[in-house]
Amino acid sequence: MSRITRRDVIATGLGAAGLAAAGAMRPALAKTPKGKARPNVLFIAIDDMNDWTGWQGGYPLASTPNLDRLASQGTALHRAYTEAPVCQAARASVLFGRHPWTTGIYTNHCLNWPRVAPDRTSVVRAFKDAGYLTTYTGKIHHQDWRWNTAPNDPDSWTDPLPRPDWADSGKEPLIWRAEGRRDRMEDVRCARLMVEKHLSKTHDRPFFAAFGLRKPHPKWVVPQEYFDRFPDARRMPYPLGALDVLHTEMRRNEDMEDLPKAGLAMARQRYSDHLSIAGKGEWKAFVKGYLAAIAEADDAIGIVLDGLRKGPNASNTLIVVWSDHGWQLGEKCTWEKFTLWERALRVPVIFAGPGVEERASKALFSTTDLYKTLTGLAGVDRPDDIEGADHAGFLRGGGAARDQVVSAWAFDVDGDDPEAISGRRRDRHFSVRTKNHRLIAYGNGDLELYDHRVDPFEWTNLAERKSERDVVARLSDMVPKTPAPPALKAKDDQTADAIDD
């Protein structure tokens, strides 16, 4: 395979979503006749996947044939964003329909939902209360999904399928290597279990089946066959959003020149990863490791989708695929999540099934909208105070449901320790993403503004330009005015509740 350069990718448009989608097979999805019983729901949650899919075009070599096929069969949302760039906060907002700035759950080091809002009704519980069979396997809630104890909302599941013996131990290192067999991978085993126990069987009531994947969360240790889908790392392009690949140090990197103090502090949270990876010439090797982990996740998703298609429930099952947040791979000298830039916030979201239009859409979507949208599509009652927007009408062919997505993150704006957040307002930060722009409003008053019409990789900060004052003022008005303080642990309760990143 010849060497592919980043310049070639951008010049020829290889990163466009149409490449992979064009060749994807399209088996028909059956449509449910009007008047049929309430639909089943297949709820597929991915861990740490950004927009590096074929249908989104975030990276030209991404291998996601199953997600690409599903995207061609339903509504593929190209402007879907998480409200928090970390697992615990993102999943709490999805599963309980509340913004981070309402609950105070901003990071993994905040208290989790049982300590913050123990009486709230999760989206799973809403379906259970409506008479649904509710089941899960894999990671859905951030904590205790291995054992289905308190933080996993155990009362909401009628038939939980936890498999702790299949799961990794918890917080995993940022490493990659080819190892293991496909049939022993946790995601593959959980996918087959879901098919065997529920998707292949008939039921006397509708089901809400949640399938949670662990990849591409680190560690990126997957069988060789997934690495074999990609060329030698040395011939692979850098991430498309990496402006300056020559200078590892922040003080010399071109993409850091126009960042304010708070933006540099945000990048420093995982700057040490960049020094150890890019500084040692391993950048592209880690890119390949992430792609291999994505390929494994897509493979497991394919098992579940094929199991549904071949079983008795295909014609009356709504499918939604979503990721909790994105992932940085060296853009702006930082790695992992934990930022308010596009790469950490943009996620894949796909809806398919009865009544859902087949189209690629640039309508804005927040993952917090999943609660209202799923209950709206299924005709299930929900609490009156659920936040977010209901896109059920849009998915059936109506107009868009929102004009912006707000996301939040909390970190020590005066230092580089992400765990050192305090109750100070200056440690709470927000992103406002509209159709054309992103504003990042830091708690200390620093600003970043990017025009996505001409700057999709957020290379040029326009916040200080006089010509952009009206845009800055308009988007600033969308920032939460009285955000809840972080739900921090007491000083005598420093044991981390969250063991997963």
Residue 476 Cα to chain centre, angstroms = 25
pLDDT confidence of residue 169: 62
What CA–CA distances, in Å, run from 82 to 48, 249, 292, 339, 442?
11, 29, 23, 11, 18
∠364-107-215 over CA atoms, to 5°?
70
Q: What's the pLDDT tens digit per position in 297-309? A: 999 999 999 999 9
Instruction: Let me know: does 134 contact 207? Beta carbons within 8 Å.
Output: yes
Q: Classify residue 476: in a domain, yes or no.
A: no
pLDDT confidence of residue 141: 87
| Amino acid occupying residue 26 | R
Residues 6+ apart with CB under 8 A from 115: 487, 497
CA-closest candidate to residue 216, choices 385, 329, 367:
329
Question: Under DSSP, is residue 320 helix (H, G, I), strand (E, B) or coil?
Answer: strand
CA-closest candidate to residue 67, choices 96, 28, 102, 25:
25
How far is the C-alpha of 123 from the C-alpha of 101, rounded, in Å? 19
How far is the C-alpha of 151 from the C-alpha of 143, rounded, in Å? 6
Instruction: Determine which helix (DSSP H) or strand (DSSP E) holds 126, and give its type and residue range.
Output: helix 123-129
What CA–CA distances, in Å, run from 124 to 196, 303, 347?
21, 23, 21
Q: Classify residue 207: in a domain, yes or no.
A: yes
- Identify any residues that bridge with 321 across adjacent strands, giving them in sequence order: 44, 350
pLDDT confidence of residue 418: 58
How far is the C-alpha of 327 from the C-alpha of 86, rounded, in Å? 10
Total Cβ atoms within 10 A of residue 141: 29
Q: Tell me the average pLDDT of the chain.
A: 89
Is residue 2 scored above 70 in pLDDT? no
Question: Under DSSP, is residue 172 helix (H, G, I), strand (E, B) or coil?
Answer: coil
Q: How confident is the model at residue 37 (pLDDT cuts 50, 70, 90)?
A: confident
Q: Classify residue 320: in a domain, yes or no.
A: yes
Instruction: Let me know: does 34 contact 202? Beta carbons within 8 Å.
Output: no
How far is the C-alpha of 325 from the C-alpha of 344, rounded, in Å? 6
Q: What's the pLDDT tens digit per position in 185-235? A: 999 999 999 999 999 999 999 999 999 999 999 999 999 999 999 999 999
How far is the C-alpha of 294 from the C-alpha of 181, rounded, in Å? 16
| Amino acid occupying residue 247 | H
What CA–CA distances, in Å, run from 250 to 254, 281, 374, 437?
8, 16, 43, 25
Q: How confident is the model at residue 172 (pLDDT cuts 50, 70, 90)?
A: confident
pLDDT confidence of residue 453: 98
What CA–CA distances, in Å, run from 405 to 88, 167, 323, 436, 497?
19, 33, 16, 12, 28
Place of tokens 């989104």: 56
| Amino acid occupying residue 86 | V
Is residue 485 scored above 60 in pLDDT? yes
CA-closest candidate to residue 271, choices 244, 250, 251:
250
How far is the C-alpha of 262 from the C-alpha of 145, rounded, in Å? 35
Instruction: Let me know: does 153 contact 124? Beta carbons within 8 Å.
Output: yes
Is residue 7 scored above 70 in pLDDT? no
| Amino acid occupying residue 191 | A
pLDDT confidence of residue 490: 53
Q: Please report, for the domain that includes residue 325, its CATH number.
A: 3.40.720.10
Tell me the average pLDDT across 424-443.
Answer: 96
How far is the C-alpha of 311 from the C-alpha of 232, rounded, in Å? 39
Q: Classify residue 363: in a domain, yes or no.
A: yes
DSSP state of 237: P
Is residue 16 scored above 50 in pLDDT? no
349: containing domain? 38-402
Is residue 253 scored above 50 in pLDDT? yes
Is residue 389 scored above 80 in pLDDT? yes
Q: What's the pLDDT tens digit per position in 121-162? A: 999 999 999 999 999 999 998 877 777 777 788 889 999 998
Q: What's the pLDDT tens digit per position in 455-480? A: 999 999 999 999 999 999 999 999 99
What backbone torsions phi and psi does residue 126 show, to the nearest 5 degrees?
-60, -40
Q: Classify residue 445: in a domain, yes or no.
A: no
Q: HSE of 378 in the Cβ direction (CA atoms, 13 Å)?
A: 33
Q: Classify residue 286: in a domain, yes or no.
A: yes
Q: Classify residue 427: in a domain, yes or no.
A: no
Instruction: Let me know: does 126 contact 380? Beta carbons within 8 Å.
Output: yes
Count Cβ neighbours within 10 Å for each residue of 399-427 and write b for 16 or more, e otherwise: ebbbebbbbbbbbbbeebebeebeeeeeb
Tell me the average pLDDT across 246-253.
Answer: 94
Burial group, residue 321, by CB count within 10 angstroms (0-12, 13-18, 19+): buried
Q: Classify residue 458: in a domain, yes or no.
A: no
Place of tokens 């992979």: 20
Token pair recorded at residue 219:
């560690």
Q: How confident is the model at residue 419 (pLDDT cuts 50, 70, 90)?
A: low
Domain count, the chain: 1
- Using the Cα atoms of residue 81, residue 97, residue 305 and residue 293 in order, give the sign of their dihedral: positive
Residue 27 Cα to chain centre, angstroms = 26
pLDDT confidence of residue 142: 82
Burial group, residue 27, by CB count within 10 angstroms (0-12, 13-18, 19+): exposed
How far is the C-alpha of 457 from the C-alpha of 341, rounded, in Å? 9
Q: What's the pLDDT tens digit per position in 58-79? A: 999 999 999 999 999 999 999 9
